[in-house]
């Protein structure tokens, strides 16, 4: 066992840190306030190869490992979690799912531009459409229907809380094809946003990650050719679960970044001040640093398992539940250390505290992660 990062991983970490400081930090408070999607930042991330970091170069990606992805997610999330969630969904849920389970035509047509994050000079990203008004944690209860019409399907239904919902060009949509088969009667379809019958609802007005682009998406008699189904008939739920296992590593790394961003700001704030001499503050900083390090090790462990071809279902859920609870705790303590300054926008920690909350909710709540871990232990 060795705990050193490779030269290449350190370079990627530095590139992500520089990007966060130079491109994300300017204007981050205003983007949060105005709920402004960070389009410029995402286009620059695409130039760096970070929108398809783990995708093979022959499909437009940068061919990096999952450890590098965790390092980059942490650095960017320290500064702007609205940027990193967009990056995470495109990388883990969209590009990875297409690369692993899509066929060659689907990869050429969709994965290549998605991994590049750009097509004909324009932003080109994806979204993952699983959640519904009545199917959040209970993801098998899909109400969106896909009716088999021979050479095509007709899709009807509504998806909720979709990250990248308004800006994505391509949606991966889970829908029920045969309700009698439960989770085995679900398929995943590639649907272009500009298809007839697709409607994007208004942008959600959120507590945190306010720059990110979250919408409901409605499907009314949307015609989707059969060749846009991913995998065999009935593979859709399994596709969602396998893809989410990797997604949870990305969100764990996001939570880790939010926590370490708040911690670094707290150290900087306390340093040289009278309050830093008090044991009460030193103990807080010590606990913050310890929990963050534990979260980091869980994230890297899950990433390492994924890179080694091991089963990472359990480790990704462990990383996500621990890192997200750490993020919520650390950011709350960071606000406390800053006192009144922590409660106003200029010091960033109140935003990090608001951003931390979503990491306990999306890509499976903390309760869902505990179900996954518990079942894994008893299996």
Active site residues: 363
Q: Does 275 bind ligand CAA (CB under 6 A)?
A: no
Quick one: tokens of 104?
A: 């060659």
| By CB under 6 A, residue 357 contacts ligand CAA | no
- The SS3 assignment for 94 reads helix
- Asked if 209 touches ligand CAA (CB under 6 A), the answer is no
Q: Facing residues of 147 across strands? A: 154
Instruction: Tell me how far, at minimum, the Cβ of 350 lies from ligand CAA, in Å.
Output: 22
* Between 284 and 320, CB nearer to ligand CAA: 320
Nearer to ligand CAA, 189 or 347 (CB): 189
Strand-strand pairing, 126-129 and 170-176? parallel
Taking the alpha carbons of 97, 98, 99, 104 in that order, is the dihedral positive or negative?
A: positive
CA 286, CA 299: separation in Å to the nearest integer? 20
237 binds ligand CAA (CB under 6 A): yes
Using CB under 6 A as the binding rule, whether residue 238 contacts ligand CAA is answered as: yes
Q: Which two tokens stand for residue 197?
A: 């019958």
Is 368 exposed, middle or buried, given 0-12, 13-18 or 19+ CB atoms closer than 10 A?
Answer: buried
> How many residues bind to ligand CAA according to rule CB under 6 A?
23
Binding to ligand CAA, residues 169-208 (CB under 6 A): 183
Selection from 62, 58, 63 nearest residue 49 by Cα: 62
**Alpha helices (runs of H) in 149-277, residue ranges in sequence order:** 236-270
> Minimum distance between the CB of residue 234 and ligand CAA, rounded to whole angstroms?
10
Nearer to ligand CAA, 254 or 260 (CB): 254
Instruction: Indicate whether 62 belongs to the interface with ligand CAA (CB under 6 A).
Output: no
Query: Rounded CA gap, 37 and 58, in Å?
Result: 30
Nearest to 100 by CA among 155, 61, 136: 61
Pick one of 66, 91, 116, 163: the residue that binds ligand CAA (CB under 6 A): 163
Per-residue tokens: 160 = 């909720």
Interaction between residue 344 and ligand CAA (CB under 6 A): no
User: Is residue 364 close enough to count as binding ligand CAA by CB under 6 A?
Assistant: yes
Structure tokens at 322: 């621990």
Q: Is 245 in the site for ligand CAA (CB under 6 A)?
A: yes
> Helix crossing, 349-358 with 81-88: angle to 10°?
30
Question: According to CB under 6 A, which residues from 309 to 328 bind ligand CAA?
Answer: 313
* Contacts with ligand CAA, 123-152, as mask; x by CB under 6 A: -----x-xx-----x-xx------------
Smaller CB distance to ligand CAA: residue 108 or 137? 137
CA gap 318, 323 in Å, rounded: 8
Cβ atoms of residues 229 and 189 within 8 Å: yes
| Residue range at the interface with ligand CAA (CB under 6 A); choices 94-102, 241-249, 274-282, 320-328 | 241-249
- Applying CB under 6 A, does 96 fall inside the site for ligand CAA? no
Which residues lie across from 155 on neighbouring strands? Answer: 146, 222
Contacting residues toward ligand CAA, per CB under 6 A: 85, 89, 128, 130-131, 137, 139-140, 163, 183, 237-238, 241-242, 244-245, 313, 362-364, 368, 371-372
């Amino acid at each position: 066992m060795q705990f050193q990062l490779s030269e290449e991983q350190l370079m990627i970490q530095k590139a992500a840190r520089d990007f966060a400081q130079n491109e994300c930090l300017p204007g981050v408070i205003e983007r949060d306030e105005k709920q402004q999607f960070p389009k410029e930042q995402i286009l620059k991330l695409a130039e760096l190869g970070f929108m398809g970091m783990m995708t093979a170069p022959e499909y437009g990606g940068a061919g990096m490992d999952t450890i590098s992805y965790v390092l980059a997610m942490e650095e960017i999330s320290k500064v702007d979690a609205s940027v990193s969630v967009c990056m995470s969904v495109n990388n883990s849920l969209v590009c990875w799912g297409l690369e692993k389970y899509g066929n060659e035509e689907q990869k050429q047509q969709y994965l290549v531009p998605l991994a590049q994050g750009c097509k004909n000079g324009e932003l080109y990203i994806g979204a993952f459409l699983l959640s519904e008004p009545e199917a959040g944690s209970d993801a098998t209860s899909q109400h969106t229907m896909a009716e088999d019409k021979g050479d095509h399907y007709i899709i009807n239904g509504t998806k909720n809380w979709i990250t990248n919902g308004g800006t994505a060009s391509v949606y991966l949509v889970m829908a029920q094809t045969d309700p009698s088969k439960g989770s085995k009667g679900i398929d995943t379809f590639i649907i272009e946003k500009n298809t007839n019958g697709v409607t994007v609802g208004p942008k959600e007005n959120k507590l945190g990650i306010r720059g990110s682009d979250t919408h409901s998406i409605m499907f009314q008699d949307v015609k989707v050719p059969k060749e846009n189904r991913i995998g065999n008939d009935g593979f859709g739920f399994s596709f969602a679960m396998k893809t989410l296992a990797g997604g949870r590593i990305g969100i764990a790394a996001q939570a880790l970044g939010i926590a370490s961003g708040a911690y670094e700001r707290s150290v900087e704030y306390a340093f040289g001040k009278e309050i830093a001499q008090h044991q009460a503050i030193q103990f807080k900083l010590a606990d913050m640093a310890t929990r963050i390090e534990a979260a980091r090790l869980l994230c890297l462990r899950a990433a390492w398992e994924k890179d080694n071809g091991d089963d990472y279902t359990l480790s990704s859920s462990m990383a996500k539940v621990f890192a997200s609870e750490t993020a919520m705790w650390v950011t709350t303590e960071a606000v406390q250390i800053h006192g009144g300054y922590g409660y106003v926008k200029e010091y960033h920690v109140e935003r990090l505290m608001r951003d931390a909350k979503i990491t306990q909710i999306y890509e499976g709540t903390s309760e869902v992660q505990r179900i996954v871990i518990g079942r894994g232990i008893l299996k």
